[in-house]
A = this chain, B = another copy of it.
Amino acid sequence: MNIELTGTSIIGNSRGAITSDIFTAFDPTTGNAVEPPFYSATLDELNGAADLADSARIPYGNIPGRDRAVFLRKIADNIEALGDTLIHRASLETSLPNARFVGERGRTCAQLRMFADLLDEGSWVDARIDHAIPDREPLPKPDVRSMLRPLGPVAVFCASNFPLAYSVAGGDTASALAAGCPVIVNAHIAHPGTAEPVGIAIANAAKECGMPEGVFSLLFSSGYEIGQALVRHQAIKAVGFTGSRRGGRALMDIAAARPEPIAVYTEMSSVNPTFILPSAVKERGDAIVAGLHASVTGGVGQFCTKPGLVFVPDDATDFISNFKSQISNTSTAPLLTGGIQKSYRTANEARATETQIVANTETELPGFSVNPSVFETSAVEFLNTPELNEEIFGPTTLLIRSNDHDELIKIANALEGQLTASIHGTDDDLIEYADLIAILETKVGRLIFNGFSTGVEVCPSMVHGGSYPATSDGRSTAVGTRAITRFARLVCYQNFPDAALPDELKESNPLGMWRMTDGVFGK
C-alpha cells in the first residue's frame, strides 16, 4: 500500500493543519533534506488530541481485552500492508539498510501480536478474589475482588534509534494500547516520513475496529514545546520515552512538578559495563573480539545496550590490539542526525584528551558520517575520571585495563544504574565473582553471562530496565509482556454483585483466566 505523505499530524479522526512551523527529514549519508515538509502541531491541536484521548479513556478502557487484541492485530496487519514503501522510507531517513527495517518491522508486528495474545489469555490483570465470610468474628469479612485497570491516556515519545520498534507503533504504544490506555505519540524529528504511514495504519485500524475516536493521535513537532506541553496536559496520566538523559530527565521533572504528578517511564542512558575475565580471553579471545566489535558497531553504535565500558585484563595485549585494529578497519558510517554526529565528535574529542585514543572521527566526512573509535585507560585513571562513565551514542567504546578483583569491586560500586551488565568467563568465575555480580544486580535490569548486551529478546521474562539513570523507574521493563503493567493500576471492588463486576472478576471465571482465589492460584 502506498501512502502519500502529507506532513500533517493525526488528531483522532482528523488531520492537523499545514502550519508555518516546518521541518524535514534528512538523508544522513548526504546530509541533504528529504521531501516532503512536515508541519509542527499547534498547541490547539495538542489540546484537541488530549481532549479526545480524555473522552476515549473510559469507553476504550471498558472495551474487553479480546476486542483490544483484535485492534492490535489489525494494526500489525496494516503496518505489514504498507509493504516496501515503509522499509525504503525508513532506510532513506536513517541510512540504515533495508534489511534492518525488515527485521525491525517483524519485531514491531510481533510485539503487537504478543500483546494481543496476552489479552486473549487474560491473566496479566492479576485478578484476585477473596470471598466473604459473613459470620467471621469479631467482624464479617467482605467479598473483595481486584484487578489491574488502565491508567489513562499515555504520551509516547519516539526513539531516534528504533524508527519502528520503539516509535509510533513500538513497544510503548503497543503496551499502552494493550493495557486499555489511549495513546498520543510525539513523532521523532529524524524520521517523520516513517511515522506518518505507521500513524495512519494505527488510525485506520482504530476506525476499522470501531474504537472510540481519540484512542490514538500522532503529533509532529520541530522542537520541544509540543512534547513538553503534552507531558504537562492534565489528561495525560503516564509517559513513555526513549532518548537522551537530558531529555528524559527534563520530562521527569515536568511530570513531577505537575499539580497531579504522573508515572514516567524514560529509558535514557547506559554504558552497559562488560567484564571480560582472564579465563575468557584465554579460552576464546578472538571470538570475544569479534562479538564485541559487532556489538559496538552494530546499528552504527546507536543501541541503548551498546557496550560502552569494557573491562579487560591488564596483560591481554593481543586481545586489546586485535580489537583496536578491527575498530580501525571499520568503515565510516552515517549517524542518524546531525545533532548526534556533533555530540559524538565533541565527546570523542574530550575523551581523547583524557585517555589513550586509538581511532577517531575525522572532521571531513560526508553527511552525518563518523569513524568508529576506541579508547583505552587504566582502572585507576577510570576511577579518577567520572566523566568516563558518560554514554557516547555512536560506534565507540572504552577499554579499561584491570587485573584486580578488589579494583573491579570498587569500580562496580561507583557505577551508575545501567540497562545491562555482561560477564565473560567460566562457570567458576561466577562463583569467584559473586560479590561483583551482587553489586551489579542492584544497578542493572539484565545480567548477561558470556554474551553481548545488544539484541534484546522479546519474551515474557525479558527485563529492559535498570536503576536511574538507565531508566526513570528501575522497577519496570520496557520490553516483554510485563511492559503492559506500566500502564495499569489496581482497582478493588467490595461486595459488588456478580453482574456489576468486570468479567475478569465474575465468580464463574467466564474468561477462563488464571486467578488467585482465597490466596490460591487456579483457573
A interface list, Cβ under 8 A from B: 57-58, 61-62, 103, 123, 126, 128-130, 138-139, 141-142, 144-146, 149, 151-152, 252-253, 256-257, 260-261, 263, 417, 427, 430-431, 434, 437-439, 441-442, 444-451, 455, 457, 459-463, 465, 467-469, 472-477, 482, 488-497, 499-500, 514, 516, 519, 521
A123 to B430, CA, bound (A): 26
Given A427-B500, A430-B500, A461-B516, do A495 and B146 touch, yes or no (CB 8 Å)? Answer: no
Q: When the two chains form the complex, which single residue of B58, B444, B448, B473 contacts A439, counting CB atoms closer than 8 Å?
A: B58
**Inside 8 A of A500's CB, which chain B residues have their CB?**
427, 430-431, 434, 437, 449
* Nearest B residue (CB) for A141: B457
**Inside 8 A of A58's CB, which chain B residues have their CB?**
438-439, 442
Q: Are B457 and A146 in touch, CB under 8 angstroms?
A: no
6 sample A-B contacts, Cβ–Cβ < 8 Å, listed by A number: A151-B474, A260-B467, A447-B492, A449-B493, A451-B495, A476-B490
* Nearest B residue (CB) for A444: B491
A201 to B384, CA, bound (A): 44
Given A496-B430, A516-B460, do A252 and B256 touch, yes or no (CB 8 Å)? Answer: yes
A62 to B141, CA, bound (A): 36
**Inside 8 A of A427's CB, which chain B residues have their CB?**
497, 499-500
A261 to B469, CA, bound (A): 9
**Inside 8 A of A474's CB, which chain B residues have their CB?**
151, 489
Query: Distance in Å from the Cβ of A62 to the closest Cβ of chain B?
Result: 7
Within the oligomer, what is the number of copies of this chain?
2
**Inside 8 A of A430's CB, which chain B residues have their CB?**
496-497, 499-500
A330 to B441, CA, bound (A): 57
Given A430-B497, A442-B58, A492-B446, do A521 and B514 touch, yes or no (CB 8 Å)? Answer: yes
Query: Distance in Å from the Cβ of A153 to the closest Cβ of chain B?
Result: 11
A468 to B129, CA, bound (A): 25
**Inside 8 A of A497's CB, which chain B residues have their CB?**
427, 430, 449
Q: Are A496 and B461 in touch, CB under 8 angstroms?
A: no
**Inside 8 A of A477's CB, which chain B residues have their CB?**
490, 492
Q: When the two chains form the complex, which single residue of B129, B253, B455, B461 contacts A145, counting CB atoms closer than 8 Å?
A: B461
Query: Distance in Å from the Cβ of A469 to the closest Cβ of chain B?
Result: 7
**Inside 8 A of A460's CB, which chain B residues have their CB?**
128, 130, 516, 519
**Inside 8 A of A256's CB, which chain B residues have their CB?**
252-253, 256-257, 261
Query: Distance in Å from the Cβ of A178 to the closest Cβ of chain B?
Result: 16
* Nearest B residue (CB) for A455: B139
Q: Are A442 and B475 in touch, CB under 8 angstroms?
A: no
A144 to B446, CA, bound (A): 9
Q: When the two chains form the complex, which single residue of B146, B152, B445, B450 contacts A462, counting CB atoms closer than 8 Å?
A: B146
* Nearest B residue (CB) for A472: B261
**Inside 8 A of A451's CB, which chain B residues have their CB?**
142, 494-495
Top 6 nearest A-B pairs (CB, nearest first) are: A256-B256, A463-B492, A128-B461, A430-B500, A446-B492, A448-B494
Q: When the two chains form the complex, which single residue of B253, B442, B449, B467 contacts A494, counting CB atoms closer than 8 Å?
A: B449
A145 to B473, CA, bound (A): 20
**Inside 8 A of A469's CB, which chain B residues have their CB?**
260
Q: Are A489 and B461 in touch, CB under 8 angstroms?
A: no
Query: Distance in Å from the Cβ of A239 to the closest Cβ of chain B?
Result: 14
Query: Distance in Å from the Cβ of A39 to the closest Cβ of chain B?
Result: 33
Query: Distance in Å from the Cβ of A292 to the closest Cβ of chain B?
Result: 16
A496 to B422, CA, bound (A): 11
* Nearest B residue (CB) for A523: B521
A427 to B499, CA, bound (A): 8
A57 to B257, CA, bound (A): 30
Give the interface centre of A57, A446, A465, A475 by most chain B CB atoms within 10 Å: A475
A455 to B468, CA, bound (A): 38
Q: Are B495 and A130 in touch, CB under 8 angstroms?
A: no
Given A475-B151, A475-B489, do A521 and B123 touch, yes or no (CB 8 Å)? Answer: yes
**Inside 8 A of A499's CB, which chain B residues have their CB?**
427, 430-431
* Nearest B residue (CB) for A447: B493
Q: Are B491 and A461 in touch, CB under 8 angstroms?
A: no
**Inside 8 A of A475's CB, which chain B residues have their CB?**
151, 263, 488-490
Q: Are B57 and A461 in touch, CB under 8 angstroms?
A: no
Q: Are A490 and B445 in touch, CB under 8 angstroms?
A: yes
* Nearest B residue (CB) for A519: B460
